[in-house]
Structure 1
Amino acid sequence: MVSALGNAGAPIATAFAVLEAGWHTTEVGYVTAARTVPLVVLMLIGGAVADRWPRHVVMVSANVFNAVSQAVLAALVLIGHPPLWALLVLSAAGGAGQAFYTPAAEGVILQAVPPEHSSKAISVFKMGLNGSQIGGAALGGLLTAVAGPGWVLALDAGCFAVAALMRTGLVQVGERKSSGESLVHELRVGWREFISRRWLWAIVVQFSLMNACVLAVEAVYGPVVAKQRMGGAGAWGTAMAALSIGMVLSAVLMARWQPRRVLLVGNGGVFLFGLPALTLALRLPLPAVVVAMFLSGVGVTVFVVGWLVTLRQEIPEELLSRISAYDGFGSFALMPAGTALAGPVANALGLSGALWACALTCLGLAAAVLLVPEVRQLERKVPEARSKTPEPEPATSG
């Protein structure tokens, strides 16, 4: 929650830092892509590392690295007119830290939750996380408009540092032993497990394309449209806050609702992902964009809870971080291309045409994945209504 508070405003601040330095849509896309390239390239290594060593130690190390890189970025922006190469390098550093943090974090969350309580625990976790993102997005947009993007980036660096300090209190219960095999061998094991589950790789392929479109809208097209006709950073910060509000309120629903076919229901939420691009393409006013972002946030939580419940149910604990890494690697693979090409695509099709392409791609992908039988048929194995006293959890906070 603490790290998300600052990180929610950082993409808005970074985009407007690029624009205020005199660059345009293409450069915003390049800087965003610079963060996602190392995130994709290093994600598999991060997953293997998190399955070999204590996951909370990996998380703390990644937080410290991100705190330093964001602090340097904030300093350059505050000084004024940072060179484009520095923005690219420091954005890439942030992505590298996230590549090690994400698989470790997902492994810790799923490891600590008994299967019979997974839906409620994940929903409560999402409520807290997204609640902090509401404040972070709103504060980020406001601070960017009032004080400038450098102060938002400085806040992000401070949040990473505080989160790292707090996570030093996590304690590993039980000894986790390395298999003694090489990282390459363990990645091969993870790949065999990943490719053997059709529902798993089908949804990852779906999100490989989906995330490229969604990130292009949220990190490139949205800020550009906001600056052109909605009043600037504050307007887009409000829209991003609406996204997080939708995530929080739907988490309350998902904590109580335990659908039997978790993947089918989760993919229903994916149909809402294209709404923000659609409203921007139609040149609708800010209130309509805010509503679309809210509904998209509802879809995100409905999908994420179903997805994490399925992973907790279907994937062995010792493989959680590697499978999460393959999931992240595939899901993020095209994000650098999506943001890097956002400017050229908008130049070729027009901004409205690029937004229409993103909206229709999201809708088509949500429909296409329903052709996979396991997505429609995979069922929850442990109904929470029948849950018993859980076994002692493998990780606690101290």
Structure 2
Amino acid sequence: MRGLAAMQDRGFRWFFLARTITMVTGSMSSIALAFAVLQIDNEATSLAGVLAAFTISNIVFLLIGGVVADRLPRALIIQTCYVFDILSIGTVAVLLFTGTATVPLIALLAAVNGASSAFVLPAMQGIIPQLTTPAHLQQANAMLSFVRSAVTIGGPAIAGVLVATAGPAWAMVVQAAGWLAAIPILAMVKLPPPAQAEKATMLADLRTGWREFWMRPWLWTVVLAFMIMNAIHAGAWGVAGPFIANNDPLLGIAGWGWVVSAEGAGVLVMTLLLMWLPLRRPLRWGMIGMAAFALPLTMLGVHPAVVLVAIAAFVAGAGMEVFGTGWSVAMMENVPVEKLSRVSSYDMLGSFVAIPIGTLAFGWLITHVDAGTLLVASAIVYAVVALSTLLVPSVWRMGRADGALAAR
């Protein structure tokens, strides 16, 4: 089947299995963590602090993670980081089970997890082109997104019920078990040794990555836009959303789980389409799709009823997936694979650097200003920033690499 063509590649099959396990078991963790913090201290600022600890730690280590992922075997990096993830999330579960969890302790463990992710994310971005052919890149990325969205549909809904009944610690246990299972599976992924033309210092590697990043206007334009968009997303959706759900019976904890699941359903539907339909203008349609996230933000502020917000989240999820697959394909087709992790680390650094500001700002704003006004204004800014990137010619015009579409 054409949509599953990437499964012909043995390395990708093992990687896909490992990622599937970790995504399935980890799909409940974000909701579990959010409500674990809110059960300890029902303050939006506490949740914002924990999320900021994760992101700040991630940002601090991202550039180092990119260099390491271009120098060392990427599968080995991912395995090592999973060990740290098991230890950090397992400790959170123990603290919750024993009733000794505090917000500062959870923030510290979230920072450990954030540092680990700073090595995993660039490695994963760089490993996919090594596991499949250029003609299969879109399908490979769409398949990974398909699993991610499929588990996002069920995971948050189950997490909402589980957290409301048994507590959040069990979701942490499941996630740690998934990482433990993925480690030996990743050992089956065989890659060529990292390409190193010459011995270079870490600073020289960073300069090379920056040069590759800056010479592509489409790349840094979109990253600058996401600096603002991710700050809004993290604050308005990641902090204000759970806070409203925890305090407004119109939405509720279980209702928020259904909303996040609806977002995943939108992603799921779009991934099915992208597994078969070629994305000829990946950035143009991707940024238009990202602008759709203004819809659920607006509904969350105007009338946070479960059904209405969920419908808007479904549309937004579909739009996000157009960008997600399009962006991954654009990066993998236009950046040399031996420099891809470093360039990806600059992409992630720029995209993530303002997230702590967004989480902390919205943690304060949601309790000091009218929620409706805050979220509607955020939605407008989000849409304007997303659509303004289309004014850059290389964003508007970028197509697929020569032969990629023909091979489909």
TM-score normalised by the shorter chain: which range applies?
over 0.9
Q: Tell me: CA distance 1:210–1:175, structure 2 relative to 1, closer, same or farther (3 Å).
A: closer
Q: Larger deviation: 238-247 or 135-144?
A: 135-144
Q: Is 1:108 the counterpart of 2:111 in the alignment?
A: no
Structure 2 runs not aligned, ≥5 long: 1-19
Shift of residue 187, structure 1, vs aligned partner:
0.7
Task: Give the aligned partner of residue 4 of structure 2.
Answer: none
- Aligned counterparts, 1:44-55, within 5 A: 44-55=63-74
- For residue 309 of structure 2, what is the aligned residue in structure 1? 289
Asked if the contact 1:35/1:95 (under 8 Å) is kept, the reply is yes
- Aligned partner of residue 170 in structure 1, secondary structure: coil
Instruction: Specify which of 332, 351, 366 is matched with residue 346 of structure 1.
Output: 366
Which of 331, 353, 375 in structure 2 is aligned with 1:311?
Answer: 331
Matched with 1:180 is: 199
Deviations 1:133-171 (A, max 9, x none): 323222222211121111112222222222223212222
Structure 1 residues 167 and 135, CA gap change in structure 2 (3 angstroms):
farther
1:232 Cα deviation (Å)? Answer: 3.1
Show the counterpart of 1:256: 276
Amino acid at match of 1:159: G
Who is 1:244 aligned against? 264
Structure 2 residue aligned with 1:366: 386
Q: Judge conservation of contact 2:149–2:264 (CA < 8 Å) in 1.
A: yes
Distance verdict in 2 for CA 1:175–1:203, change over 3 Å: closer
Q: Report the Cα distance in structure 1 between the residues aligned to 2:184 and 2:253, rounded to whole angstroms.
A: 31
In 2: Cα distance, 1:175 partner to 1:325 partner = 17
Q: TM-score, normalised by structure 1?
A: 0.93
What does residue 210 of structure 1 align with?
229
Task: Identify the residue that residue 7 of structure 1 maps to in structure 2.
Answer: 26
Q: Which runs of 5+ in 1 are unaligned?
A: 389-398
Q: What's the offset of the Cα at 1:48?
A: 0.5
The answer to whether structure 1 residue 167 and structure 2 residue 203 are counterparts is no
Deviates more, 1:260-269 or 1:202-211: 260-269
Q: Distance in 2 between matches of 1:134 and 1:284?
A: 19
Deviation at 1:333, TM superposition (A): 0.7
| C-alpha distance in structure 2 between counterparts of 1:28 and 1:241, whole Å | 21
- 2:112 alignment counterpart: 93
1:130/1:244 contact within 8 Å kept = yes
The residue type equivalent to 1:363 in the other structure is A
1:181 CA displacement: 0.5
What does 1:123-134 correspond to in 2, within 5 Å? 123-134=142-153
The match for 1:229 is 249
Once residues 202 and 175 of structure 1 are traced to their aligned partners in structure 2, the CA distance between those partners, rounded to angstroms, is 29
CA distance in 2 between partners of 1:138 and 1:160 (Å):
21
Give the superposition deviation at 1:86. 0.3
Asked if 2 retains the 8 angstrom alpha-carbon contact of 1:43 and 1:329, the reply is yes
Matched residues in 2 for 1:174 and 1:233: separation?
A: 47
- Distance (whole Å) between structure 2 residues aligned to residue 88 and residue 71 of structure 1: 14
Helix, strand or coil: the match of 1:229? coil
Partners of 2:302 and 2:266 in 1: CA distance: 22
User: Percent identity at matched positions?
Assistant: 32
2:14 corresponds to: none
The amino acid that maps onto 2:297 is: A
The answer on whether the counterparts of 2:236 and 2:297 sit within 8 Å (CA) in structure 1 is yes
2:352 pairs with 322, 327, 332, which one?
332
Q: Distance in 1 between the 2:271 and 2:34 partners?
A: 29
Deviates more, 1:143-152 or 1:156-165: 156-165
SS in 2 for 1:35: helix
Q: In 2, distance between residues paired with 1:153 and 1:219?
A: 18
* d(CA) in 2 for partners of 1:3, 1:247: 18
Structure 1 range deviating more: 43-52 or 265-274: 265-274
When the two chains are superposed, the root-mean-square deviation of aligned CA atoms in Å is 1.7
